[in-house]
Chains A and B, each alone.
Chain A
Amino acid sequence: MTENETSVVMLGPRDRLIGELYIEGNLRVSGTLEGQIEATGDVDVTEAATVKATVAGREVNVSGQVNGAVTASKKLIIGRSGSIVGDVRVPRLIMQDGASLSGNVSMGPKVAAEFAQAAAAEAAPAPVEMAAAVQSATDGETAQEKAKAKKR
């Protein structure tokens, strides 16, 4: 599955993003981020990063500051310099000594099953071939995101 990812987005230490971000791929944040982020791949929040956003990804790695809810469909790793203030929803959670977390934690097989269901539900209505999906995904997903934003 990892090989299918199309993009890697990096935000340097002096970069800033305020708004809503959706990525088909991986994200690495070292700067400031506010709003909402969702990546189909892995999200890496480095030590220098300040994130005030809801974060969703497959594997989320936090070594910096995150203020907001975090969901990971595979697992969440909070490094020793990492800090999360917000609710966490993950099937697997690894927390190193020194890491900080304040919020509600939901995890385990139940959560994993929910993610699997969600993934299946997303995949079912759009049985597009992978090659075509890469092209159309950008347009399709932004439209979806806009629709989501409107609902909110």
Chain B
Amino acid sequence: MDTQQAVADAAPHEANEDGVESRRDGANKITLGPGDSLDGKLNYNGHVTVQGQAQGEFRVTGNFDVGNGATVKALIEGSNVTIKGDVEGVLTARDKLTLGKSAKLSGDVTVKRLQIEDGASFNGHVRMGSFEQSSGS
């Protein structure tokens, strides 16, 4: 029994080392530091954190975080989207969108859940509930 368990335990570890894409829930992570900037289109299997500047189109399977002081002008799609900086663009959160107290968001959002903290600023249209996958386009 012990050896069998050991083999079973070892298997996923090997898989992890072999393929980065083996973890569905986003073990992968990109962080753009305060001085970093990104301009373009990103489809990513994992989490993304932006603390600098980003522009374009971002579709991630995991979470999308916009840090305090960050500026993002983009189409954003993610599971959980957390905003503490400035964001302009169309936003989709398959699970939850959180606007922190320093957040400034302008654009239309489609979300399942929405939480807005006092101090956050938001201008745009909100669509909630009945969720449609729009990742096909």
* Chain A interface residues (CB < 8 Å from chain B): 75, 92-109
Q: What's the Cα separation between A97 and B95 when bound, in Å?
A: 11
Known A95-B115, A99-B114; contact A108-B129, beta-carbon cutoff 8 A: no
Q: Which of A92, A97, A105 contacts B124 (CB 8 A)?
A: A105
For residue B15, CB closer than 8 A to chain A, the reply is: no
* Contact between chains at A94 and B118 (CB < 8 Å): yes
Q: Which of B114, B115, B123, B125 contacts A107 (CB 8 A)?
A: B123
Question: Chain B at the A interface: mostly helix, strand, loop or mixed?
Answer: strand
In the bound complex, residues from chain A placing their C-beta under 8 Å from that of B73 are none
Question: Chain A at the B interface: mostly helix, strand, loop or mixed?
Answer: strand
For residue B23, CB closer than 8 A to chain A, the reply is: no
* Contact between chains at A93 and B116 (CB < 8 Å): yes
Least CB separation from A97: chain B residue: B115
Q: Which of A75, A103, A108 contacts B125 (CB 8 A)?
A: A103
Q: What's the Cα separation between A106 and B125 when bound, in Å?
A: 9
Count of B interface residues, CB-CB < 8 Å: 19
Q: What's the Cα separation between A93 and B104 when bound, in Å?
A: 12
* Contact between chains at A98 and B124 (CB < 8 Å): no
Q: What's the Cα separation between A101 and B116 when bound, in Å?
A: 11
Q: What's the Cα separation between A92 and B122 when bound, in Å?
A: 9
* Contact between chains at A100 and B115 (CB < 8 Å): no
Q: Which of B96, B114, B119 contacts A101 (CB 8 A)?
A: B114
Shortest CB-to-CB span from B90 to chain A, Å, is: 14
For residue B37, CB closer than 8 A to chain A, the reply is: no
In the bound complex, residues from chain B placing their C-beta under 8 Å from that of A100 are 114, 128-129
* Contact between chains at B115 and A102 (CB < 8 Å): no
* Contact between chains at A102 and B126 (CB < 8 Å): yes
Shortest CB-to-CB span from A63 to chain B, Å, is: 15
Least CB separation from B114: chain A residue: A95
Chain B 111-137 per-residue mask, 1 if CB under 8 angstroms from chain A, else 0: 001111111111111111100000000
* Contact between chains at B125 and A105 (CB < 8 Å): yes
Shortest CB-to-CB span from B125 to chain A, Å, is: 5
* Contact between chains at A98 and B113 (CB < 8 Å): yes
In the bound complex, residues from chain A placing their C-beta under 8 Å from that of B127 are 102
* Contact between chains at A101 and B128 (CB < 8 Å): yes
Q: What's the Cα separation between A98 and B96 when bound, in Å?
A: 10
Shortest CB-to-CB span from A67 to chain B, Å, is: 14
* Contact between chains at B115 and A96 (CB < 8 Å): yes
Q: What's the Cα separation between A99 and B96 when bound, in Å?
A: 11
* Contact between chains at A95 and B116 (CB < 8 Å): yes
A-B contact pairs, 30 of them (CB 8 A): A92-B118, A92-B119, A93-B120, A94-B116, A94-B117, A94-B118, A98-B113, A99-B115, A100-B114, A100-B128, A100-B129, A101-B114, A101-B128, A102-B126, A102-B128, A102-B129, A103-B125, A103-B126, A104-B124, A104-B125, A104-B126, A105-B122, A105-B124, A105-B125, A106-B123, A108-B104, A108-B121, A108-B122, A108-B123, A109-B121
